[in-house]
Structure 1
Amino acid sequence: MSQQSEAQTPATQAQAQPEMLYLPETMKNWPWPRAINPYYEEVTLESNAWFKSFKPFNARSQYAYDLCDFGEEHLRTGIDLMNVFFVVDEYTDVEPLAVVKEMIGIVIDALHNPSKPRPEGEIVLGEITRQFWARGEKTATPEAAKHFVEAFTDYLNSVIVQAGDRDDDKIRTVDEYLQTRRENIGARPSYVPGELHLSIPDYAFYHPVMKELEYHIADLIILDNDIASYNKEQATGDDRHNILTVVMNQFNLPLPEAMKWVVKYHEEVEAKFLDGLKRVPSWGKEIDDQVAVYIEHIAGWPRCNDCWNFESGRYFGSKGLEIQKSRYVPLLPKRKLATHLHKENVDVPIVDSL
C-alpha cells in the first residue's frame, strides 16, 4: 500500500471532522445578571422526590430526566411547574393529534379542578397536575391564581396545535410560528411564580403595554431556547417547531445565515422591551410597586433561560459549561427516536449518547 493511500488527504481530513454549530452569545448585553435563589438546591430535591413518586418514566428515561436540573413555597411551585412542563412535553411529543387532545383534556380538567379526585386508571398527567396546583394554589393570591390558570390553559391548548403541525408535517412562517410558540414555550405560566404573592388587578396586568413586555420576553426565551435546542432537535427529527428551521424554510437560507437572522431579530426584540419599559402607565403607588416587582421578575427570565440552557444538561449533556465558553458544538448525527414507546416508556434521549 502506498504512503499516499495510507495518509489522509486534506479533503478526507475535512470529512472526518464533525460539522460545528456556532451558538452566538445573544445575552451578552442583557442588563439583568444571573442570580439564583438560596433555597434552590433544597427545594429542588423536594420537588424532584415528589415528581419521581409518580414513576412517569421507565428507568432509562428517568435517568435522562435526572441529568436535567430543573430547580420556600413559591419557589417550590416554580420548580414543580418545570417538572409538569417536562412530563407533558415528553408524553405528548410522540402522540398523534387525537391522543394529544385526550391527554390535554385530562390535564386541563385537573388544573381547573384540583380538589377533584382523578379517575382510577387515568394517565398519570392528571394526578401530577392536580397535586401540583392543589399545592400551588394555596400560596397564591386570587389574582395570581386566576392569571396562572388562564396562562397554563393557553399553553396546554397550544400543545394541541403543535401536535396538529407534527401530524401534518407543517412548518410555519416566522409570524405564524412566533404567534403559537409564544404560548407553546410556556413562558406566560412560568412568569406566575414570581407573581404568586402579588395582587395586580386585571386592568393593570392585562394592559397592552404589560402584555407587550411579556411577549417580548417570551420571544427572547423562544429564540435562545431554539438556538440551544436545535442540535438535539435536528438529530432526533423534532425541529419543525424551531425558529432556525422556520427561518431556513421560509427564506431559503443555510443554517449559518439563519442563525444570523435570529441574532439580529433577538437584538430588535431586546430594544423593543427596553423601550416598552418607558411606556408602562402609572396606577398609583400600591399597584405600581407590585408591577415593578413583576416586571423585574420577567426581565430576569431570559437570563435564567440562557443559563439553564447550558447548566441543566438537557441540550448539551455534561459539556454545557464547556460549550457555553467555546460557543461551538459538534452537529449531532441523525438518530431515530423510538416513537413506538409511549407514556411511562417514552424515549427521553440522553444527550451525551446521541
Structure 2
Amino acid sequence: MDARPRVIYLPDTMANWPWPRVMNPHYEAVKAEVDESFSHFKGLSPESQEAFNKCDSEHLRIGCDFINVLGIVDMYTDIENATVTEAMVGIVIDAVHNPHKTRPEGECILGEIVQQFWARAIQSTSLPFQRHFLDSYTAYLRAVVVEALDRDETRCRGIDDYIKLRRDTCAAKPAIALYEMGMELPEEVLYHPVVTELTECITELMLIDNDMISYNREQAMGDENHNLITTVMVELGLDRSGAMAWAAYYHAEVEKRFTNGLAKVPSWGPSTDVLVKEYLDGMATWARANHCWSYETQRYLGTKGPVIQRTRLVPLLPKVNCKAASAAAKAHVAD
C-alpha cells in the first residue's frame, strides 16, 4: 500500500515579488482576434482544441500569437519520440528563417503556423529583436529535441545538468525578447554580464514556478523526469514535499540574485538607460505573469487553479495509462 501523502503543499514562491500582476487593457479584444485566427489552422482535434483554448495569454497580438505557437509546438512534440520531434523542429526552424517560403504540400501544420506568426512579427519589430528572438527561439527548439531524447531513454538528469537544459526548454528567453520588439538595444547592453545574469535569474524563476505547478499533471502522465521536483527528489533523496520546499528556497535565492543585480546595472547614457529599465521591468513582469498564468490557465491544475492558489494544497492525481490514453485525454488529465 502506498503510504505517501496524497496531497502536495505548493509554496507561494512569488509572495514577496515586487512586480504586481497587471493586465493589458486591450487584452480581451486582442486575444479574441488571435484565438479566432489561430483556430482556422485546424491543427488540433476538437478535444485537443478545447484543451488548448484553456491556456489564456497576457500580451498583445504578437505576444498572444507566440504563446499560442509555444503551446501547439509543445503539444505536438511532447508526445513524440526524438526522431519525430527533430523532424518537427527542423520544420519550425526552417519556417522562422524563411518566412516567405511556400510551405511544402503535406508538411506538418506547425510549419505554416509558425511561418505566419513570424511573417507578421517581422513587419513591426526591430532588427535587433528579430536577431535575438531567432537565436533564443532556435536554442529552445534544439533543447526540445534533447528533452525528447531524454524521454526516449527515460533519463532523469542531475539538478545542475537539468537546470542548464531547462533554461532553454522553458522558452523564457524568447518570451523575454518580446520586450525588445520596439527597441534598438545595443549588443553591448544585451550581452553585458550583469544583464545576462539578470536574464538567467528570470529564466530560472520561470522554470522553477512552472515545474512546481506542473509537477502534479506531469507525474500523472508519467512525464515527470523533465521536471525540477523529480530531479531534486532523485538527487537529494527527498519526498515531494521536501523537493517543493527545496525549490521554494532556491526560488528565494534567485530572487535575491535578481534584486541585487539590478543595483549593479551600469549606465549607457540617458536615452539607452530608459530602454534598459523598461526591458528589465518587462522581464521581471514576465516572472509574475508566468506565475499567475500557471494558476489561471487550466493547463496544469484544471479548474482548480484559483482554489489551489488560495489553499496551496494540490490533491495528487492518479497515474494515467499513457500508452492507452490519446493525446486529447492527456490534455484533460488535470480535470
Q: TM tier, shorter chain?
A: over 0.9
Q: Secondary structure at the match of 1:87?
A: helix
Task: Give the % identical residues.
Answer: 45
Aligned partner of 1:5 in structure 2 is none
- Alignment of structure 1 residues 13-92 onto 2, 5 Å: 19-71=6-58, 75-92=60-77
1:63-99 superposed Cα distances (whole Å, 9 cap, x missing partner): 111222234xx72111110111111111111111111
- Deviation, 1:49, is 1.3
- Closer, same or farther in 2 for the Cα pair 1:352/1:247, shift >3 Å? closer
Hey, what's the Cα distance between the residues in 2 that align with 1:45 and 1:327?
Answer: 31
Hey, what's the Cα distance between the residues in 2 that align with 1:151 and 1:77?
Answer: 16
CA-based RMSD of the aligned residues comes to: 1.9
Q: Secondary structure at the match of 2:314?
A: strand
Contact 2:211 2:229 in 1 (8 A): yes
Equivalent residues, number: 335
Hey, what's the Cα distance between the residues in 1 that align with 2:146 and 2:37?
Answer: 30
Aligned partner of 1:230 in structure 2 is 215
- Deviation, 1:102, is 0.8
Structure whose alpha-carbon radius of gyration is higher: 1
* Aligned partner letter, 1:309: S
The question of 1:202 aligning with 2:184 is answered no
Contact 2:217 2:334 in 1 (8 A): no
Contact 2:47 2:328 in 1 (8 A): no
Hey, what's the Cα distance between the residues in 2 that align with 1:285 and 1:60?
Answer: 52
- Alignment of structure 1 residues 311-350 onto 2, 5 Å: 311-338=296-323, 347-350=329-332
- Deviation, 1:282, is 1.3
Contact 1:91 1:346 in 2 (8 A): no
Unaligned runs of 5+ in 1: 1-11
* Aligned partner letter, 1:237: G
The question of 1:180 aligning with 2:165 is answered yes
Unaligned runs of 5+ in 2: none
- Deviation, 1:281, is 1.5
Which runs of 4 or more aligned residues in structure 1 lie more than 4 Å from their structure 2 counterparts after TM superposition? 338-341, 345-348
- Deviation, 1:101, is 0.9
- Deviation, 1:257, is 1.1
Q: Secondary structure at the match of 2:318?
A: coil
1:271-296 superposed Cα distances (whole Å, 9 cap, x missing partner): 00011111112111121111111000
Aligned partner of 2:270 in structure 1 is 285
Contact 2:299 2:334 in 1 (8 A): no
Contact 1:339 1:347 in 2 (8 A): no
